[in-house]
Chain A
Amino acid sequence: AQSVTQLDSQVPVFEEAPVELRCNYSSSVSVYLFWYVQYPNQGLQLLLKYLSGSTLVKGINGFEAEFNKSQTSFHLRKPSVHISDTAEYFCAVSEISNYKLTFGKGTLLTVNP
């Protein structure tokens, strides 16, 4: 079975600062990795995904993530955040032979002016 750990439950940053949201996963087999964003009172929206190939993945809204197999990590980054990036971010993993998504507990990103 797979598991996901998001190391920070809350990350406050100032507008235009860089941000990194950390995610580590555990699985005994090959996996797909995802980041979802949840804005207040909305459902989850896919930000980006890693399926195979290049370990640096670019997503929507200027976010990117890097898959590091040796460290079993998939950290999310953005070089300059905006107020509108304030939301909860979820890392998720699925085994490539399994439809199930296992989510981390989420990281609340708060961007302050």
Chain B
Amino acid sequence: DAGVIQSPRHEVTEMGQEVTLRCKPISGHNSLFWYRQTMMRGLELLIYFNNNVPIDDSGMPEDRFSAKMPNASFSTLKIQPSEPRDSAVYFCASSLGTGRYNEQFFGPGTRLTVL
């Protein structure tokens, strides 16, 4: 299996521009998570999908952030408009489910720099 795939790996953009991050979960996994990693705040859960449905978006920082999962093999995280404080590494993770315990497998991350 190829693991969780994220694109792009690096993104540099200017303040005010729209940014779209992409994630392909492991085939067969039905739970998907978006995380943000910064020096100040560490690793934070932004949003969680189960069976393509957003279950918990309480970690999404503000309305500029939105996430979608149109099908079981693809998810996007969009920031519009982007701001310098959005600079971070964004990780996508997937798991088989959220039963007793299901290991989350992480992608390599997208390093976003907003100038």
In Å, the complex CA distance between A101 and B101 comes to: 11
From B42, B48, B98, contact of A103 by CB (8 A): B42
Binary CB contact string for chain A from 86 to 113 against chain B (1 if under 8 A, 0 otherwise)? 0000100000100111011110000000
Question: How many interface residues does chain A have, given as a range?
Answer: 10 to 19
Is the C-beta of A7 less than 8 angstroms from some C-beta in chain B?
no
Question: Interface of B with A (CB < 8 Å)?
Answer: 4, 31, 42-43, 45, 48, 56, 91, 93, 98, 100-101, 103-104, 106-109
CB closest chain-A residue, reference B95: A99
Chain B residues lying within 8 Å of A90, measured Cβ to Cβ, are 43
Evaluate contact between B42 and A99: CB separation under 8 angstroms: no
Chain A residues lying within 8 Å of B31, measured Cβ to Cβ, are 99
Is the C-beta of A10 less than 8 angstroms from some C-beta in chain B?
no
Evaluate contact between B48 and A43: CB separation under 8 angstroms: no
Is the C-beta of A44 less than 8 angstroms from some C-beta in chain B?
yes
Chain B residues lying within 8 Å of A99, measured Cβ to Cβ, are 31, 48, 98
Q: Which segment, of A19-27, A45-53, A60-68, A73-81, faces chain B? A: A45-53
In Å, the complex CA distance between A45 and B106 comes to: 7
CB closest chain-A residue, reference B102: A99
A interface, over-half SS: loop
Chain B residues lying within 8 Å of A46, measured Cβ to Cβ, are 103-104
Chain B residues lying within 8 Å of A51, measured Cβ to Cβ, are 100-101
Most buried by A among B43, B45, B101, B108: B43
Most buried by B among A41, A43, A100, A103: A43
Chain B residues lying within 8 Å of A49, measured Cβ to Cβ, are 101, 103
In Å, the complex CA distance between A42 and B91 comes to: 10
